A and B are shown apart, each in its own frame.
Chain A
C-alpha cells in the first residue's frame, strides 16, 4: 500500500520521498482524531448510538479524512520543499526529504499526543474481531475489507495511470520531464497531482493499519513501514505499479516465514537480504525495465 505511493512519487520525480512514511503516520493520527471527535465511549448522544450501529460509515469517513488530509499535506510539502529544488542536484533534494521527515517526526510530537500513546478504541472497528471462513482459511472480516479497499485503490490507480489523459501525462513526465514540458504538459501540475495520489495512498494505509490492531500511535509510527515500503518498491522495480504490489507481498511473506522458522530476531534483516539477492540477480528489480537503470 505505502509501496504504491512511494513508487508513484518516485516514478515521476525520481525522488526518494523520505517523508512518505511520515505521511502514513499523519494518516493514522488523523483517523484517530476523527474517531475521537465523533465517537466517545460513554456518550449517549443519539448520533453516537447510530454510529455504533453503523461502524462502516465512521470507518469510511475516517478513511476519507485521512486521505484528504495527507494529500493536502503532501502537496504543501512539495510546494515548500521540493519545488524550489526542482533543478538542484538530486542528493540535495534527498537531504531535504530527510530533513522534512525528521521535522515531522519531532515537531509532530509537539502537537499530537504521544504519551500515553493513544490508540483507536476497539469499538470503532468491530470487524477486527469477527472472523469469517473464506475458502477454508480463517480470516478476520477486517482483513478482507482491507484487501478489498487495497484492491479497489490499486485498480483505480492503475486506471488513472494507464487510461486517462492525466495518467498519460504522468508517464510522459516520468520518462523525460523536459521533453514533456515541451509537449505542452504542465509539469508542476502533474507533479502536484502525483503527490496528491501518493500521499492519499499513504494516508489510507496509515488509517487502515491504525484501525486494524488498535495499534498504539506515536510519531515514529511510520518510520519502519516507510523504509520497508521503499525496499518493496525497489524490489518490484521502482516506478512500476504491479511491481510495487508484488514487492510488498514478497516482503511480507518472507518476514512471516522467518518468524515461523524461529529466527524472529533476524526478521528485519531478511527483507534486506532478499532485496540484495534480487538486485544482484536482476539489478533493476523484478519488473523494472532497463531504462530505469539510472
Chain B
C-alpha cells in the first residue's frame, strides 16, 4: 500500500506519546509479570529443595548485581571494582532500619519490603554519588584502585560499628559478627522481579538517546565531550543508578538471609562481579545475566563435589589434557583447515559447558524434582551447548555436535583408563592412594581454572557486545547474516 500523507499522519497520531497510556501500560505489565512470577514461585517451592532454592536465589541476586555493574563498567566504561560497597550499604541500611522498627511499626510485610528496598536504593545511590563525584577526575586503573579502596573502606567501617569505643557515635551494626534480627520477608520471586526491572532499565536506557551518550563516554570521552555530551553528568548518573540497583539487591538479600555479615561483602565479591561482566561481554546485558547465573550456579554447584582421591584427580587431569588435544584434531577434520582459526575459540568452552551441563543434569536427576523441570533443564543445557558449538552455518553443525559427543565419550574412557592405570603402578599408587583432597579446595581450583580457560578462549566475553534477540538466534542458525546489534 502506498503511504499517502493521510495514512502517515494517522499512524503517527495513533502512536503519539500519551502519559496516561504510558503509565497504565507500564504498571499493567509490571503487575502481570509480578503475578506470573508469584505463580512460578508457588509452583517451584514444593518442587525445589531448600538447598536448590538457595542456589537459585543466590544466582538471581548475582545476576542482578552483574546487570547493575554492567551499567557502570560495561555501558559507561568506568572501571569500578568496589561494587560490593553499594551492595553492602543497601543491605546494612535497610537491615538496620528493619531490625529496629519492623516489629513496632505494624506495617504489613508486603508493604514493608518495597519500602525497605527503596530505602536501600536511596542509601546506596547516595553512596554511589559520593563515589561518583570524585571518580570524575580519575581514569582507567586509578579509578579501579580508588573504587576498590572505597569498597574496602565501607567494609572496614561497618566491621568497626559494634557499639563499642571505636564506633561512630556508638552505632551498633553488629560489628564483625554481622547485623542480626532482620525479618525474613524476601521470597525468590522478588529477586526475579528485581532482575527483570534491572534488565528493563538498562535495556530501555540503551534504546534511547540517553543510552547513546553513555556509550559515547565509553568509546571516547574526549569525543563525547566535544559533541556536547556532558560526560561528567553521565558518569555520575551511571554510578548512581548502578549503585541504586545494587542497593535494592542488598536490601532483598538482607531480608532473605536475616543477617548481614561484612564477610559476605569482601573484595572477592567485587572481583567476582567484574569477572561476571567481563565474561558475559562488557556492555551486553544478556551476557551479564548469563554469566551471572552460570558462574554462581557453577560456584555453588561445585560445593556438591565429594572429596576426591589423588588418583582420580590426576586421572581426570590427564583425561582433560588428552580431550582438549583430541578435540582440536577432531574439529580440524570436520571443518577443514580454513575455518579453524575462528571456531577453535569455541571448542574448549563448549566442551566445558557440555561437561557442566551433563554434570548438572546428573546431579539434578537425583534431586527431588518434578519430571518437567528435569527435562526442561536437560533440553536447555543441551540447546545452550549446541548454540555454543554451532558454526555460522547449520550444515556443519551436526557433525560438530556429534564430534563433541565422541570426544566426550572418549574423555570418560580415558579418565577411567588412567585411573585404573595409576592404581596398577604400585609405587605411584602407594604415594597417591592415601592422599584425599578436600572438596572446598577443589571447588575453587576448578572454578578459577574455568574462569581462566573461558577468558583465554574468548577474551571478548561470551556474548561480546551482542544482545539476545531473535535476529541473533537467526544469525546463529545461519538464516540471516549474523548481526549482533552492537550497541
Contacts and interface: CB of A to CB of B under 8 A. Distances in A.
Is A bound to B? yes
Interface stretch (B274-282, B325-333, B396-404): B274-282
Nearest to B447: A102
A81 B459 CA distance: 11
Contacts of A110: 437, 441-442, 445
Contacts of A16: 141, 144
B317 to A, nearest CB: 11
Given A88-B460, A96-B455, 7 more contacts: A16-B141, A91-B79, A98-B451, A103-B448, A266-B156, A266-B166, A273-B153
Contacts of A93: 455, 459
A202 to B, nearest CB: 19
B441 A265 contact: no
Nearest to A285: B142
A231 B451 CA distance: 25
Given A234-B141, A265-B159, A275 B149 contact: yes
Interface string B184-222: 000000000000000000000000000000000000000
A185 to B, nearest CB: 24
A251 B438 CA distance: 37
Interface string A12-36: 0010100000000000000000000
Contacts of B267: 227
Interface of B: 79, 134, 137-142, 144-146, 148-150, 152-153, 156-157, 159-160, 166, 267, 271, 274-275, 278-279, 282, 437-438, 441-445, 447-449, 451-452, 455-456, 459-461
A294 B456 contact: no
A98 B81 CA distance: 12
B142 A95 contact: no
A107 B138 contact: no
A81 B276 CA distance: 19
Nearest to A264: B166
Interface stretch (A47-55, A156-164, A276-284): A276-284
Contact of B456 (A96, A101, A275, A280): A96
Interface in A69-106: 81, 84-85, 88-89, 91-96, 98-103, 105-106
A293 B139 contact: yes
Contacts, number: 135
B486 to A, nearest CB: 15
B113 to A, nearest CB: 32
Given A95-B279, A293-B142, A102 B448 contact: yes
A96 B452 contact: yes
Given A92-B278, A95-B274, A95-B275, A103 B145 contact: no
Pick the most buried of A100, A109, A265, A279: most chain B CB atoms within 10 A of its CB: A265
Given A268-B152, A279-B138, A234 B278 contact: no
Contact of B460 (A89, A107, A230): A89
A106 B142 contact: no
Contacts of A266: 156-157, 160, 166
Contacts of B443: 106
A269 B452 contact: no
A52 B159 CA distance: 45
A89 B282 contact: yes
B323 to A, nearest CB: 18
A280 B447 CA distance: 37
Given A89-B459, A105-B444, A106-B444, A275 B145 contact: yes
A107 B138 CA distance: 36
